């Protein structure tokens, strides 16, 4: 090991591990798992629940709320099953099922998994205390000092952004955490038309709440293909959501604790609800992380190279993985980065040179150009890679191919009067796909095939030989290729 990467001498008061991971969400768990598989000792630090945001306040509870909505919509979309559906969602049963998926906000099972891989779980707030040093404020009021022989991985994720609006402190708005864990709201005002906004509008409207969705942009999901936002806005409106676009929120007002809240708009209007959900973005969870002790800016996103090593820090010891590096704020992308980072840490610990070629296991590439995402609204949205606008702004020579999903035999069998659309963005110079977008019921399971095509840069001529089963919605691939060929 070189002098620049060698660990500093330890003291008798420190617990020494090969690797220290701060944050035991899915990302931190995967870094720890890969490091343990490489034969390294690991301390995994968590200040809340082992399993993190995804397990208790994001992916799992939100999808548990949304799945019954989709199941009911699918049953009502087909003659025969439609007649068998005589009621509405049973909110109590939906909440009970959600609570099961969150293990009732207890982490015994995931803590047991940490023990099963041979890692050491350290509960408390962890922060950097200099190169390869971490201090943990423990629940009993003490401080535990740790030292890493090889690496420290920051996997602390992100928090919901709370904008500095007048009245926001007194209003005590919901964030995504309350939206996915709550169970009693009659009138909900949602500010923000991104994924959290549209998913929670879908869920809470289906559960019986009166929902108003306030969006600054012209349509929801503005980072996706324009037709996606148009269809989602229409679908939400048909479900009874009051969708208002092109509006700016200027403040919140809740004069009585526990009473209704008013959302103040730039045009002077007020919209009242029992709760307001602010779904306007994310901020890095790095404010109390001790970044200043290693020369980094407190509260900042952590810039990394393609192996997730933090830039601006001497040596190959500090990694930032998942949301905190701001490359792709999605659980599956964070876990992908974690597999890369864990492999890199193992290689460096063995004194191996890293292979930084594009398809190396030491390099993350799919969190930039081939990021898959599913929005679990009704209808579902699935996409991967660049939109047409992004590809054109990048100066690429592209052709955009669209197809009406309702004209695919499998889709017409899936639902009577099926409505949906598919788009692929083709790089004409390289003859590969740059991006694919689907919207329609049941399209979530199409996304991985698109991801393989985009991430693998499968030539269009080769895609003709990937034959979709008939009659499935996947036959849209054949229709897109036929449309491209003309």
In eight-state DSSP terms, residue 145 is: E
What crossing angle do the helices spanning 226-239 and 195-206 adopt, rounded to 10°?
20
User: What are the angstrom distances between the C-alpha of 196 and each of 190, 264, 418?
Assistant: 9, 21, 25
The alpha-helical segments, DSSP class H, found in 117-173 are 168-171
- Containing H/E element for 177? helix 176-181
What does 204-231 look like in DSSP terms, one character per residue?
Answer: HHHTT-EEEEEESSSSSSTTS-HHHHHH
Report the pLDDT averaged over residues 162-181: 97
Residue 202 preceded by cis peptide, ω within 30: no
Angstrom distance (rounded) from CA 136 to CA 147: 11
| pLDDT of residue 214 exceeding 70 | yes
Q: How many residues comprise the chain?
A: 486
pLDDT for the residue 10 = 53
Domain boundaries, the chain: 15-51+107-159+284-349, 168-280, 379-485
| pLDDT of residue 471 exceeding 80 | yes
Angstrom distance (rounded) from CA 214 to CA 232: 14
Report the pLDDT averaged over residues 187-213: 98
What crossing angle do the helices spanning 331-349 and 26-37 adopt, rounded to 10°?
30
Report the pLDDT averaged over residues 418-446: 98
User: What are the angstrom distances between the C-alpha of 32 and each of 23, 118, 223, 342?
Assistant: 10, 10, 33, 7
| pLDDT of residue 321 exceeding 90 | yes
Q: Which phi and psi (to 5°) does residue 243 adopt?
A: -95, 120
| pLDDT of residue 292 exceeding 80 | yes
Residue 54 burial class via C-beta count within 10 angstroms: exposed 0-12, middle 13-18, buried 19 and up: buried
pLDDT for the residue 486 = 85
| pLDDT of residue 265 exceeding 60 | yes
Nearest to 231 by CA among 382, 31, 390: 382
Angstrom distance (rounded) from CA 129 to CA 290: 6
In tens, the pLDDT along 224-238 reads 999 999 999 999 999
- Containing H/E element for 245? strand 242-245
Q: CB count, 10 Å around CB of 415?
A: 21
- pLDDT tier at 161 (50, 70, 90 boundaries)? very high
pTM for the whole structure: 0.94
User: Taken in order 207, 283, 369, 396, is the CA torsion positive or negative?
Assistant: positive
| pLDDT of residue 4 exceeding 60 | no
Q: CB count, 10 Å around CB of 315?
A: 18
| pLDDT of residue 172 exceeding 70 | yes
Question: In whole angstroms, how large is the CA radius of gyration of the chain?
Answer: 24
| pLDDT of residue 95 exceeding 70 | yes
Architecture of domain 15-51+107-159+284-349: 3-Layer(bba) Sandwich (3.50)
- pLDDT tier at 7 (50, 70, 90 boundaries)? very low
Q: What average pLDDT does the chain have?
A: 96
Architecture of domain 379-485: 2-Layer Sandwich (3.30)
Report the pLDDT averaged over residues 337-346: 97
In tens, the pLDDT along 26-51 reads 999 999 999 999 999 999 999 999 99
> How far from the centroid of its chain's Cα atoms is residue 208's Cα?
26
Q: CA torsion 40→41→47→52, rounded to 10°?
A: 40
Angstrom distance (rounded) from CA 224 to CA 233: 13
In tens, the pLDDT along 16-29 reads 999 999 999 999 99
| pLDDT of residue 1 exceeding 50 | no
- pLDDT tier at 6 (50, 70, 90 boundaries)? very low
Contact 481, 464 (CB under 8 A): yes
Contact 57, 134 (CB under 8 A): no
How are beta strands 380-385 and 372-375 bridged, if at all?
Answer: antiparallel
pLDDT for the residue 13 = 79
Residue 6 token pair: 């060698």
pLDDT for the residue 12 = 53
| pLDDT of residue 244 exceeding 60 | yes
Contact 193, 221 (CB under 8 A): yes
For the domain 168-280, what is the CATH code?
3.50.50.60
| pLDDT of residue 264 exceeding 80 | yes
Which residues on neighbouring strands pair with residue 469, listed in sequence order? none
Residue 458 token pair: 């499968």
Q: CB count, 10 Å around CB of 297?
A: 11
The answer to whether the 168-280 and 379-485 domains have the same CATH topology is no
Residue 347 token pair: 């290689």
Beta strand residue intervals within 93-142, DSSP E? 120-123, 125-128, 133-137
Report the pLDDT averaged over residues 259-286: 97
Q: CB count, 10 Å around CB of 180?
A: 26
- pLDDT tier at 348 (50, 70, 90 boundaries)? very high
* Helix, coil or strand: residue 332: helix
| pLDDT of residue 2 exceeding 70 | no
Residues 6+ apart with CB under 8 A from 415: 74, 77, 78, 441
Which residues on neighbouring strands pair with residue 267, listed in sequence order? none
- Containing H/E element for 67? helix 59-76
* Helix, coil or strand: residue 398: strand
């Amino acid at each position: 090991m070189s002098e620049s990467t060698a660990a500093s001498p330890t003291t008798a008061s420190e617990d020494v591990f090969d690797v220290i991971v701060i944050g035991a969400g899915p990302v931190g768990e995967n870094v720890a798992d890969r490091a343990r598989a490489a034969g390294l000792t690991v301390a995994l630090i968590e200040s809340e629940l082992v399993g993190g945001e995804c397990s208790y306040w994001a992916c799992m509870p939100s999808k548990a709320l949304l799945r019954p909505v989709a199941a009911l919509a699918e049953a009502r979309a087909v003659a025969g099953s439609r007649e068998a559906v005589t009621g509405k969602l049973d909110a109590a049963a939906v909440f009970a099922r959600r609570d099961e998926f969150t293990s009732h906000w207890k982490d015994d099972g995931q803590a047991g998994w940490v023990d099963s891989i041979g890692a050491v779980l350290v509960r408390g707030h962890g922060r950097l205390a200099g190169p390869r040093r971490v201090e943990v404020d423990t629940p009993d009021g003490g401080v535990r000092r740790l030292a890493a022989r090889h690496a420290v991985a920051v996997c602390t994720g992100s928090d919901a952004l709370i904008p500095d609006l007048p009245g926001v402190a007194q209003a005590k708005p919901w964030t995504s955490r309350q939206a996915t864990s709550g169970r009693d709201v009659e009138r909900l005002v949602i500010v923000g038309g991104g994924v959290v906004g549209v998913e929670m509008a879908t869920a809470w409207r289906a559960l019986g709440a009166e929902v108003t969705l306030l969006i600054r942009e012209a349509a929801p999901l503005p980072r996706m293909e324009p037709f996606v936002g148009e269809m989602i806005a229409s679908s939400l409106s048909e479900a009874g959501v009051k969708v208002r676009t092109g509006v700016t929120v200027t403040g919140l007002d809740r004069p009585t604790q526990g009473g209704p809240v008013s959302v103040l708009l730039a045009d002077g209007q007020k919209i009242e609800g029992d709760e307001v959900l602010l779904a306007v973005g994310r901020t890095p969870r790095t404010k109390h992380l001790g970044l200043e002790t290693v020369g980094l800016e407190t509260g900042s996103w952590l810039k990394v190279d393609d192996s997730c090593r933090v830039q601006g820090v001497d040596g190959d010891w500090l990694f930032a993985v998942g949301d905190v590096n701001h490359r792709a704020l999605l659980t599956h992308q964070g876990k992908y980065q974690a597999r890369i980072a864990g492999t890199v840490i193992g290689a460096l610990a063995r004194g191996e040179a890293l292979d930084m070629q594009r398809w190396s296991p030491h390099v993350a590439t799919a969190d930039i150009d081939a990021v898959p995402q599913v929005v679990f609204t009704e209808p579902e949205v699935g996409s991967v890679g660049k939109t047409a606008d992004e590809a054109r702004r990048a100066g690429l020579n592209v052709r955009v191919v669209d197809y009406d999903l309702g004209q695919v035999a499998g889709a017409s069998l899936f639902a009577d009067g099926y409505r949906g659309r598919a788009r692929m963005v083709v790089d004409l110079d390289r003859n590969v796909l740059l991006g694919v977008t689907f919207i329609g019921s049941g399209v979530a399971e199409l996304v991985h095939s698109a991801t393989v095509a985009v991430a693998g840069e499968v030539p269009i001529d080769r895609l003709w030989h990937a034959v979709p089963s008939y009659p499935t919605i996947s036959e849209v691939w054949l229709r897109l290729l036929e449309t491209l060929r003309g």
